[in-house]
Amino acid sequence: MSASILTLSSGTKVYVEPARELPVVNISIGFAVGSANDPDGQEGLFRSAMRMLRRGAGKLTAGDIEASIDRLGAEMALDIASSFSSIHAQVLRRNLQPFTDLLTTLLSEPAFSEDEFERLRRDTVAEIIEGRDNDRSLVQRAFRRSVFALHPFGRRTTRASIERLSRDGLRDAYEQKACVKNLVLAFSGDLDEKEARDLGERIVKALPKPKEPAVRSIPEPTLQKGRHLVFVDKPERSQSQILIGGLGSRADDPDHFPLLVANAIFGGTFTSRMMREIRSKRGWSYGASSRLGVDCIRQDFAMWAFPAAQDTAPCIALELGLLNTFREKGISAKELAFIRQYLVRSHAFDIDTAQKRMQQFMDATLLGLPEGYFTDFRKNVNAVTLESANQAVKDRISTDDLKVVVVGTFRDIGEKVQSVIPDLVKTTVWPFDDD
Amino acid sequence: MKDSAYKKIAEELSNKDAGNIELVGLTDFGKWKIARFRLKNGLEVLILPDDSAPVVNFQTWFRVGSRHEQEGKTGLAHLFEHLMFNETETLKAGEFDRKLEASGADTNAGTSVDYTHYYESVTSDRLPLVIKMEADRMQRLVLREPQVASEKEVVANERRYVVEDDVDGSASELLYKTAFTDHPYRWPTIGWMRDIQAFTPSDCEAFYKTFYAPNNAFIVIVGDINVRAVLKSILGAYGAIPRAEIPPEDITPDAPQMSERRVVLRKPTPAIKVIVGYRGPALGDADHATLVVLNEILLGGRASRAFRSLFIRDELVSDLRGWVSAFKHPGLYEISLTGRTDVGAEKLLSAIDEELEKVLVDCVTQEELERAVARVELSLVQTLETMSGKAEQIGLYEVLVGQVDAPFRKLEQMQRLTPSDLRIAARRYLRKEARTIVIVEPSAEDASEVEDPELASGTSSSAVSVADGAA
């Protein structure tokens, strides 16, 4: 490991980690702003703006750009999250310079042509329709929409919101958000510091220089009271997708690591309580897990399982019981000792390549995670006590205020599912093609 | 390490009581070197030392997959893979995972048509524990009714997830069932539902005794290791496991396909899909690399011919993919198209046929060829980024081709291809009379339908490869 942080002439910090094992260079260009601030009714604006970058730039058509990426032995991927965005690229070492030329052309001279804009709109609508086939994606979207409700994290791109976008709106969004003020850079692989500095300077020079850069501004979400069943109704389901949860943790909560450790016991490993009870003992679901989201605001806590349709109601009842026991009785000293060992030792696989270490830098910087969030991970896990873990579960995980989100066939199992959720205050049924 | 150093280690470790170990040879693998050792009981060990991180990946590959099953017992190799995480004579049910997790290990397994493999990623200091536990379950697995019954339920749920409620999974299963009439590739690795539900502990016991033996397996170790110490541990843990008599394979190959086959599947999906399967080469055939490059030109990425015409120019599809099956025996060259709203199956078929016919007549350009090979080169480099990625490549090519350096040889072969080579391969494989077509149509009301009496029983579906673990 020989990572360093360079400072460019613009003041931008760049993570650089040369690694010569393979003839490939990893490039990550991040912006500390995402889609959460898309205007009301124009959800999908910033994602669409960033997608336009490879649909024409300078004298290059979309076809020219795609052919160039392939010819250079490169790949480019976009990640547009609610609170940040990034472009990840990989290129064969021998083609770093021509790829840099291409990349900086895309960033500095995006065409935003009318034809490509209209094509992107049609492509996006086709993708939304195709997405109806993926039940896991349907349950995730519905869960986020219900947990965050009117909060920016709960908004979703729809066919209607795509229709409201304009080409000028996309260009403005790109120029205001993808700028040096929001920029975070990281490079790893087969390059040296001088090459990294040159690459960074060229990217900075290529980016828009707006008079009023967009700044990330995302309010804290609020907990919604009561137990609410959201049923995404889809015909012919032999199996249900279930997510149960609500709000979880902030990375800078003093009890963040205690909660993270407790969650690992509850649903974070192959021998977790959820896996043992749902899969190993009963065979009800191929997978069963829980997770704590991490973001720049309080994220969600979610339990996931996917049982056969006939096991859906008993599985939900079991999950609610497990959650209740988790909150009321907490974890044991033996469990804590076990999970500490697991988390501390398995951390080696979070940092075993330069690319993974580079990604941790990006995540920490883009989300504004507390100092040492990743680098002090082992120390923070070891510092968790039984008392702090159990108190964190009591303070942060609600059993009264929960969303139970199911993708299944309502007429087959809807009534039974409702009957196993005590104190259910509301049931909402969404058609699976309500997009 | 120098070649002589490996030989010296092997000689030092030879022990009449525990069994001998010999150095079989050394093979270049990119910038690395793989040493192949063999124990007297036939177990081979492939070692690639890599100290770029203080971790190691340990993989055990068994030369048994779903193609070794019998009609009526489909899915046994995959169910058995699940059962390998249960009880042994020395570990209670659940203890295998528990002990490995306590060591920070990441462990899982996968079953394919041709093989089953198990793997652990651990920090280097924990490797002796992994060796001990893997050797234990190779010879002392306990198979009891409660665990078998529970695991059958888990697999049935896995099947619902990847097949019954998954349109692509259902279509893929139907494609292979229709394309193959005699070869075992006609049934899915996960098995038919009725077979999964009928397995007994004695079925599993018989399978274990037949196929899980050192002479039907090999081990791949990649990472930051002391070769001498690792070999000593391997010898101690595996050296006394007896060989088994592995039954000779008795597979009936399909007769040449003389006419196109079509089948329609109705599912609650918003879009029509068309999946076409041409007869393809085995992974070890020289033509495999050629067809992979041809597929890259036709369907690989956003600059490919079909993407440009079907997706961009005519806006007929929302998704399109091509894949040349990487199997021990000849498989399929699969093309999958997802239509946009109101685009019918015949329109999709004629559009892709138009693209395929061009490569039968005219040579591709040199520029297209170079682009395709560059894509494959990047893809190979990406697979080598982690210890587990390297180990998987070594294991895959060892079990399917018998050459651990085949990924690099294939790339070199691709770099020597000419446009004319691709046209020859196109004419050899893109034969309409030897293709199978699955058309997925949206079902009007409830109830999935298949215009095929056997599949209509609700026992349908796919998966040529099943990767496990789902947390």
For B22-70, the pLDDT digits (tens) are 999 999 999 999 999 999 999 999 999 999 999 999 999 999 999 999 9
Contact A348 B54 (CB under 8 A): yes
- Closest residue to B271, CB basis, from A130, A270, A276: A130
CB contacts, 8 Å: A236 with chain B: 267-268, 443, 446-448
Q: Which tokens belong to B453?
A: 């009496």
pLDDT category of residue B16 using cuts at 50, 70 and 90: low
- Determine the residue among B82, B385, B393, B448 to mutate to test chain A binding: the one whose Cβ has the most chain A Cβ atoms within 10 Å: B385
A347 vs B270: CB contact, 8 Å cut-off? no
**Of the candidates B160, B270, B381, which has its C-beta nearest A22's C-beta?**
B381
Nearest residue on chain B to A93, alpha-carbon basis = B378
- The domain at B3-238 falls in which architecture? 2-Layer Sandwich (3.30)
pTM for this prediction: 0.94
Q: Considering only CB atoms, which chain A residues are within 8 Å of B154?
A: 279, 283, 285-286
Residue extents of the structural domains in chain B: 3-238, 261-457
Q: Is the pLDDT of residue B453 over 70?
A: no
pLDDT score at A434: 87
Q: Which pLDDT does position B14 carry in this prediction?
A: 66
CA distance A400 to chain B (A): 25
Mean pLDDT for B207-225 is: 98
Cβ contact A353–B153 (<8 Å) = no
Binning pLDDT at 50, 70 and 90, where does residue B466 land? Answer: very low
Residue B459 is predicted with a pLDDT of: 35
pLDDT at B20: 83
Percent of chain A at pLDDT above 90? 98
Nearest-Cα distance to chain A for B435, in Å, is 26
> Using a CB-CB distance cutoff of 8 angstroms, which residues of chain A are in contact with residue B341?
126, 129
Q: What is the pLDDT of residues B260-296, one digit of tens each?
A: 999 999 999 999 999 999 999 999 999 999 999 999 9
Task: Give A-chain residues touching B446 at CB under 8 angstroms.
Answer: 235-236
**Under-50 pLDDT residues of chain A:** none
Topology agreement, domain A4-206 and domain A227-431: yes
Backbone angles phi, psi at A428, to 5 degrees: -120, 130
CATH architecture of B261-457: 2-Layer Sandwich (3.30)
Mutate to test the interface with B, among A72, A96, A99, A270 (most CBs of B within 10 A): A270
Q: What is the pLDDT of residue A431?
A: 96
In this structure, chain A runs to a length of 435
Task: Mark yes or no for CB contact A70/B149 under 8 Å.
Answer: no
Reply yes or no on whether the pLDDT at B463 is more than 50. Answer: no
Mutation site, B97, B151, B153, B163, interface A, largest A CB count within 10 A? B153
Greatest CA separation for chain A: 65
CB B310 within 8 A of CB B336: no
Chain B closest CA to A262's CA: distance in Å? 15
**Do the beta carbons of residue A105 and residue A60 sit within 8 Å?**
yes
Query: Which residues of chain A make contact with B318, given a CB cutoff of 8 A?
Result: 123, 126-127, 129-130
Contact A229, A425 (CB under 8 A): no
* Interface confidence: ipTM more than 0.85: yes
Per cent of chain B over pLDDT 70 is 93
Sheet of B317-324, strand order? B317-324, B332-339, B273-279, B435-442, B261-267, B449-450
How far away is chain B from the Cα of A411, in angstroms, using its nearest Cα? Answer: 12
In sequence order, what are the beta bridge partners of A91? A25, A74
Is B157–A283 a contact, with Cβ atoms under 8 angstroms apart? yes
Q: Closest approach of chain A CAs to the CA of B462, in angstroms?
A: 16
Give the closest of A19, A342, A348 to B101, CB-based.
A342
Cβ pair A282:B150 closer than 8 A: yes
Instruction: Determine phi and psi for B3, rounding to 5 degrees.
Output: -60, -40
> Mean pLDDT across chain B, nearest whole number?
92
- Write down the architecture of domain A4-206 according to CATH: 2-Layer Sandwich (3.30)
Mapping DSSP onto H, E and C, the string for chain B reads CCHHHHHHHHHHHCECCCECEEEEEEEEECCEEEEEEEECCCCEEEEEECCCCCEEEEEEEECCCHHHCCCCCCCHHHHHHHHCCCCECCCCCCHHHHHHHHCCCEEEEEEECCCEEEEEEEEHHHHHHHHHHHHHHHHCECCCHHHHHHHHHHHHHHHHHHHHCCHHHHHHHHHHHHHCCCCHHHCCCCCCHHHHHHCCHHHHHHHHHHHCCHHHEEEEEEECCCHHHHHHHHHHHHCCCCCCCCCCCCCCCCCCCCCCEEEEEEECCCCCEEEEEEECCCCCCHHHHHHHHHHHHHHCCCCCHHHHHHHHHCCCEEEEEEEECCCCCCCEEEEEEEECCCCCHHHHHHHHHHHHHHHHHCCCCHHHHHHHHHHHHHHHHHHCCCHHHHHHHHHHHHHHCCCCCHHHHHHHHHHHCCHHHHHHHHHHHCCHHHEEEEEEEECCCCCCEECCCCHHHCCCCCCCEEECCCC
Q: Is the pLDDT of residue B15 over 70?
A: no
Contacts across the A-B interface (CB distance below 8 Å): 188
For chain B, give the percent of residues with pLDDT over 90. 89
Interchain proximity B471–A289, CB inside 8 Å: yes
Same fold, B3-238 and B261-457: yes
Q: Which residue did the predictor score with more confidence, A37 or B415?
A: B415
Residue in B107, B151, B371 nearest the CB of A67? B371
| Minimum CA–CA partner of B374 in chain A | A73
A132 CB neighbours in chain B (<8 A) are 269-270
Domain locations in chain A as residue ranges = 4-206, 227-431
Half-sphere exposure in the Cβ direction for B341 (13 Å, CA): 10
Question: Which pLDDT belongs to residue B450?
Answer: 53
Class of A227-431 per CATH?
alpha beta
pLDDT(B364) > 80 = yes
